Amino acid sequence: MVASALTTILLAQENDAQLLTNNCAFCHMLKTPQFFELQNLTAPAIDAVVFHVKLAKEKSEEQEAFIVDYVLNPDVSKSICESNKVAKFGMMPSQKGKVNKKELEEIANYMLAGYLQGSFTVMIKEMQANDKIYALSNSPFLINSDSLPHFTKLLVLNWDKGGLDLGKKQKENLMKVGKETLRTVKCIKKKLKPLTDEVSEAMIDREDPKSIEKQLKKIAALKLEATRMHLKCIADTTAILSDEQVEYLLPFWQYAKTTVIQTIIFFI
C-alpha cells in the first residue's frame, strides 16, 4: 500500500516535471543559473520566477493562483518583477490554447515545491550584498541605510506595477523630482571625485593630514548638500504618493536594487 502510494506520487512528480519542460523550458531556464549566465537569459529563470512570486504573495494558494492567471492573462500591471526586467525581457505572451488551467495548476505546484534552490538564494544575497557595498563606496550621502531608501531608484523598479497604481499626474510629478535630484547629485559627485582623489594621493604619499584640511572641508560641505537633496527627494516623493503607495513600496527596498546609471538612463 505504501509502495503503491509512493509510486503514484513519483509518477505525478515526473508528469509535472514533463509539463514544466514542455511548456516553459523554451524560454525559462529550468536549472539554477550561474552568475555568468544571468546576462544571457531570454526570460527569468524558473528559480527567479519563484523567488519573486514568493516575495510578492504570502500564501501558497495566492502564489499558485497568480502563476495560473499571469500565464494565461499576462499584463505589465500584474508584473511582480522589477520594471527594468520587463523592459529587458518584454512581456510574456499569453499561453491560452497551449496549456490548460489544470496543467498550469500542476506546473505551479511543482515549481513552488521544488524550485528556489539554496544556491540561487545564496547568489541573490551575495548580489544584494555587493550592491550595498557598491552603493556605499559610490555614495555622496552622509547617511546610507535601508531606513533612508533612494525612492527614485525604487520607483524605477516598480513604475508600472498594478499594486503601486501610479496615476499619470503622479508620474509627471515624480519624473520632475527624479530629474532634479539626479541632476544635482550627479553634479556633486563630479565635484567630489577630484577632491577625494587628492586626499587618497596625499595619504599614499604619507603627507600630514593637516595639509588636506581644505579638501576635507569641501568634501564635507558637498556631502552635506547631497544629503539635504536626498532627504528633499524622499519628502517630495512621499508627498506625491498616497499612504497606501508608500506602504506598498517599502518592502521592496531590501530586494529591489539598481545602479545609479540605470536610474539616470530611465529619467533622461
Write down the pLDDT at residue 264. Answer: 30
User: Is pLDDT above 60 for 190?
Assistant: yes
- Contact (CB, 8 A) for 151 and 249: yes
Each residue's pLDDT tens digit, 24-68: 988 998 888 887 787 788 888 898 889 888 888 889 999 999 999
Quote the CA–CA distance of 71 and 64 in Å, as a whole number: 11
Using alpha carbons, select from 162, 180, 164, 146 the residue that is nearest to residue 255: 146
Question: What average pLDDT does this structure show over 99-107?
Answer: 92
Residue 206: pLDDT band by 50, 70, 90 thresholds? very high
pLDDT at 37: 80
Mean pLDDT of all residues belonging to the chain: 80
Instruction: Give 42's DSSP letter.
Output: S
Could you give phi then psi for residue 38, rounded to 5 degrees? -60, -40
66, 133, 225, 267 from 231: Cα distances, Å: 36, 21, 10, 19
Cα distances (angstroms) measured from residue 221 to each of 104, 134, 216, 234: 58, 22, 9, 20
Rounded to whole angstroms, the Cα distance separating 63 from 30 reads 19
Mean per-residue pLDDT for 122-139?
A: 66
Which of 2-11, 122-131, 169-178 has the weakest average pLDDT? 2-11
Whether residue 223 is predicted with pLDDT greater than 60 in this model: the reply is yes
Burial call 232-253: b when 16+ CB within 10 Å, e when fewer: ebbebbeebbeeebeebbeebb
Angle, in degrees to the nearest 10, between helices 213-240 and 151-158 = 40
**Is pLDDT larger for residue 225 or for residue 137?**
225
pLDDT, position 184: 93
Give the residue-averaged pLDDT of 77-90.
Answer: 73
Burial of 107 (0-12, 13-18, 19+ CB in 10 A): buried
CA of residue 125 relative to chain centroid, distance: 12
Higher pLDDT, 148 or 223: 223
pLDDT at 91: 81
Q: In whole angstroms, how large is the CA radius of gyration of the chain?
A: 23
- Report the distance separating Cα 80 and Cα 86, nearest Å: 10
Task: Give residue 263's pLDDT.
Answer: 33
pLDDT at 267 over 60: no
Number of residues written out for the chain: 268
Whether the CA torsion 81, 182, 190, 223 is positive or negative: it is negative
Q: Rounded to whole angstroms, how far apart are CA atoms 35 and 47?
A: 13
pLDDT recorded at residue 136: 56
Nearest 5 degrees, angle CA 101-CA 30-CA 116?
85
pLDDT confidence band for 10 (50 / 70 / 90): very low
pTM over 0.75: no
Cα separation values, 147 from 18, 62, 249, 263, Å: 45, 29, 13, 20
Question: Which residue's entry shows cell 492573462?
Answer: 73
pLDDT at 246: 86
